[in-house]
Amino acid sequence: MLATSLVTLALAAAWEIKCRSWGYAPTLNDTPDLWAMRRNAVKPDSVVIIGDSRAWFDLDLDEVERGLGSRPVQLAIPGSCAYPVLADLADDKSFHGTVICSVVPIMFFAPGGPPVQNSMDAINRRRAQTVAQKASNEIGMFLEEHIAFLKEDDLTLGELLNRLPIPNRAGALVGPPLPPYFETEDRERRARMAPQCAIPGPLQDRVKYGWLPLFTPPPLPTYIPRDVFLGGMAQAVEARFRDAASAVHRIRARGGKVVFVRFPVSGELRKLEDQATPRTGRWDRLLKDTGAPGIYFTDYPELASFTCPEWSHLSASDSVEFTHLLVPHLRQAIGSAL
């Protein structure tokens, strides 16, 4: 037993040293359990942040609290569609607070797949979470705050195997790889871009050039006629407009408020998003159908002046300054969201 313990400790220490040499550092994993913990912190009159990873990275909780007078609850989920969380808050009849909702149209209007599933995994975890899972989350957070190799999205055996360069082949298309670890996160789910990603270098390039294949729609399925498939997609988008409007109206009927925000995006990714989902299409109609105010970063020179180092998110320092400049517009939008 003693020999086994010593060997295990030595191997763990060696793996920890190796992972730190790759640039990994102790920080929390963004798990459905951590999301459920923060969702349980939502009070009837809370300010709640929902949406995708841009709201997760780009909003500084201290600046939002300083500007709005209430500590916000961070419920944005990276790689997710915001609608399921919006609907979850709308279904919570006790909630009459303020929702700040990030909108990346490609993801907000996703009819299914990983963006919707990522949100549903978090919501379902909260609904069915056991005492053992809550205890496991507390233990896990303590360990993750001290050990660098506990990165479930990067350093587990399964994830390492997924990095093997398997090419596309007949009958099997390999999806584009997800971005690597490039953030820190605390118990309030406040994310910060890692310093190595904020400066030019291998990590920034790996993240930056990974967005384009992830945001490029896959080829149309060959087993469904093209017009049938596109018609089904159009119906799904129409349903999302109706469902989002219903969710917003239910929150507002209780005295709550919803503000949509389009956060900065840069470089080739901005060109791709603008081409795939022009502002005059889904963004403008979302505001019209829901009756909710919106803040589009390009409408304000002070917000449009920020550049995302890896095209999709702001650096840690820029997120503070951006939030400071965004808060006056949030106050005005919240005041108009009657």
Reported as a single tens digit per residue, the pLDDT across 278-324 is 998 899 999 999 999 999 999 999 999 999 999 999 999 999 999 99
Q: Cα Rg for the chain, rounded, in angstroms?
A: 21
Which tokens belong to 193?
């871009």
What is the span of the domain harbouring residue 31?
22-159+178-336
Tens-digit pLDDT profile for residues 90-100: 999 999 999 99
Q: How many domains does the chain have?
A: 1
What pLDDT is stored for residue 91 in this prediction?
96
Pull the structure tokens for residue 57. 């990275």
For the chain, give the percent of residues with pLDDT over 70.
99
Degrees (nearest 5) of the Cα angle 46, 299, 86? 30
Give tens-digit pLDDT for 18-29: 988 888 889 999
Distance, in Å, from the CA atom of 71 to the CA atom of 237, rounded to the nearest integer, reads: 33
Determine, yes or no, domain membership for 292.
yes
On the CB side of 203, CA atoms within 13 Å amount to 15
∠ at Cα 216 (233, 174), nearest 5°? Answer: 100
Residue 51: CB atoms within 10 A of its CB come to: 30
Q: Which two tokens stand for residue 94?
A: 């006790």
Lowest mean pLDDT among 41-50, 217-226, 262-271: 217-226
Inform me whether the pLDDT recorded for 32 exceeds 90.
yes
- The pLDDT of residue 56: 96
The structure tokens listed for 42 are 């939502």
Task: Please indicate, yes or no, if residue 297 is contained in any of the structural domains.
Answer: yes
283 found inside a domain: yes
The CA distances from residue 333 to 244, 259, 307, 321, in Å, are: 18, 7, 24, 19
Q: Given this model, what pLDDT does residue 335 score?
A: 85
Backbone φ and ψ for 101, nearest 5 degrees, come out as -115, 115
User: Per-residue pLDDT for 48 more than 80?
Assistant: yes
What is the rounded CA–CA span in Å between residue 231 and residue 228?
5
Question: Which tokens belong to 227?
Answer: 């017009």
Q: Is residue 164 predicted with pLDDT exceeding 90?
A: no
pLDDT in the model for residue 151: 85
Whether 9 is in a domain gets the answer no
Q: What is the pLDDT of residue 9?
A: 93
- Which amino acid type is present at position 314? L
What pLDDT score does 98 carry?
97
Residues 262, 103: contact at Cβ < 8 Å?
yes
- Please indicate, yes or no, if residue 316 is contained in any of the structural domains: yes
Domain assignment present for residue 201? The answer is: yes
Considering the domain boundaries, does residue 238 fall inside one?
yes
Buried b (16+ CB within 10 A) or exposed e, 273-297: beeebeeeebbeebeebbebbbbbb
327 CB-near residues (< 8 Å, 6+ apart): 63, 64, 66, 67, 68
Residue 172 phi, psi dihedral angles, 5° rounding: -150, 110
- CATH number for position 292: 3.40.50.1110
Query: What does pLDDT average to over the chain?
Result: 92
Predicted local confidence at residue 338, as pLDDT: 54
Q: 120, exposed or middle or buried, with CB in 10 Å at 0-12, 13-18, 19+?
A: middle
Looking at the chain, the whole-number percentage of residues with pLDDT higher than 90 is 75
Token code pair at residue 306: 């920020």
Statement: residue 177 has pLDDT above 80: no
**217 compared with 260, residue with greater pLDDT:** 260
Name which of 313, 230, 273, 302 is nearest 58 in CA terms.
313
> Can you name the residues that pair with 99 across neighbouring β-strands?
48, 258
Q: Round to whole Å and give the CA distance between 311 and 205.
A: 10
Residue 181, classified by CB atoms within 10 Å of its CB into exposed (0-12), middle (13-18) or buried (19+), is: buried
The 8-class DSSP code of residue 175 comes to P
- Coil/strand/helix, residue 258: strand
What's at 69, amino acid-wise? G
Give a yes or no: residue 172 inside a domain. Answer: no
Mean pLDDT in residue range 63-89: 96
Provide the pLDDT for residue 337: 57
